């Protein structure tokens, strides 16, 4: 099976062209290929399929084989994948996801898509909850960006013991559902510093939907205005709130292509 490894801010996935059929048992394949020692190594698997109503469909699996409805860094790479391989000549396209269709605008240089802006749609803010984890109290802002996020504001995200707290918070019974977790600080009304524990994949270098969830929570708290930059360990994303929708801009990059023996 041929595959392409791509990354957006170091949030890396294995991309498989499923336009004319797909491998069997995608959750098991995601676990096998994502393994960084015995597989290719990635935060998960993304399949590119024919559009349902849009131009293409993105189907994503986390490294543990669970399915994610949306992936902000992944969808930018899907845009680059279909454009660079000439599966489309459109620079404005619609990608169907389990969370609904998302509009993409590609910035092209030398025949390749480099930066991608995604209309991430409306974020939903649920009532905040207080909870206890590893002996500490946290105020959690629950945000839906097509997938569930638990945003916690703190003075220094770098000081958080994410590898220990992440798994506890991801499955905390006080949350609406199993969630992605972001520790966030906001400075100067636009500078968001974000560290992420991703549901199903653990600590990742970035999370596009997580950056949007942090932005929405910060905006609603009056901590930032309608434009912000989210600084994550893997790089920076541009965020803009326009008429109730969030627009996210960032890079998409191909790392390498390969072929793996199945069975």
Ligand X SMILES: N[C@@H](CCC[C@H](N)C(=O)O)C(=O)O
Question: What's the full length of the chain, in residues?
Answer: 263
User: Which residues sit at the interface with ligand X, rule CB under 6 A?
Assistant: 11, 62, 68, 71-74, 147, 180, 198-201, 207-209
Give yes or no for a contact between 34 and 45, defined as CB atoms under 8 angstroms apart: yes
Return the number of the residue (36 or 132) whose C-beta is nearest ligand X: 36
Catalytic residue among 77, 186, 207, 212: 207
For ligand X, the closer of residues 100 and 189 by Cβ is 100
> Of 111 and 179, which CB lies nearer to ligand X in the complex structure?
179
**Closer residue to ligand X in complex, CB, 54/200:** 200
Question: Tokens 């939903």 appear where?
Answer: 124
Residue 72 counted as an annotated binding residue: yes
180 is in an annotated binding site: yes
Shortest Å, Cβ 181 to ligand X = 10
For residue 207, indicate whether it is catalytic: yes
Query: In this structure, what are the phi and psi dihedrals at residue 231, rounded to the nearest 5 degrees?
Result: -95, 120
**Cα(97)–Cα(109) distance, rounded to whole angstroms?**
26
Buried b (16+ CB within 10 A) or exposed e, 24-61: eebeebbbbbbeeeebbebbbbbbbbeeeebbbbbbbb
Chain residue whose CB lies nearest ligand X: 68
Of 8, 27, 16, nearest in space to 72 by CA: 8
Shortest distance (Å) from residue 150 CB to ligand X:
11
Helices 208-220, 72-84: inter-axial angle, 10-degree rounding? 130
Least Cβ distance, residue 111 to ligand X (angstroms):
26
Tell me the closest approach of the beta carbon of residue 31 to ligand X, in angstroms.
Answer: 14
> For residue 189, what are its two tokens?
């009304």
174 is an annotated ligand-binding site residue: no
Residues belonging to the binding site are: 11, 62, 72-73, 147, 180, 198-199, 208-209
* Residue positions annotated with a catalytic role: 71, 207
């Amino acid at each position: 099976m041929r595959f392409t490894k791509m990354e957006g801010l170091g949030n890396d996935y294995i991309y498989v062209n499923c336009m004319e059929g797909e491998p069997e048992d995608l959750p098991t394949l995601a676990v096998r290929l994502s393994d960084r020692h015995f597989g290719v190594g990635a935060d998960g698997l993304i399949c590119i399929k024919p559009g349902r109503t849009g131009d293409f469909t993105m189907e994503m699996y986390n490294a543990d084989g669970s399915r994610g409805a949306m992936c902000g860094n992944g969808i930018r790479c899907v845009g680059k994948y279909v454009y660079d391989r000439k599966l489309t000549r459109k620079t404005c396209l619609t990608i169907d996801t389990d969370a609904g269709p998302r509009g993409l605008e590609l910035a092209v240089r030398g025949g390749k898509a480099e930066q991608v802006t995604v209309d991430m749609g409306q974020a939903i803010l649920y009532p905040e909850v207080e909870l206890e984890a590893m002996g500490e109290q946290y105020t959690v802002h629950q945000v839906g960006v097509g997938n569930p996020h638990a945003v916690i504001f703190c003075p220094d995200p770098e000081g958080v013991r994410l590898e220990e707290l992440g798994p506890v918070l991801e499955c905390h019974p006080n949350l609406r559902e199993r969630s992605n977790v972001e520790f966030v600080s906001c400075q100067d009304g636009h500078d968001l510093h974000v560290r992420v524990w991703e549901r199903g994949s653990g600590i990742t270098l970035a999370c596009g939907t997580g950056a949007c969830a942090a932005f929405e929570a910060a905006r609603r708290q009056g901590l930032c205005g309608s434009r912000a930059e989210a600084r994550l360990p893997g790089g920076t994303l541009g965020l803009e709130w326009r008429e109730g929708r969030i627009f996210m801009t960032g890079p998409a990059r191909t790392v390498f292509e390969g072929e793996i023996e199945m069975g």
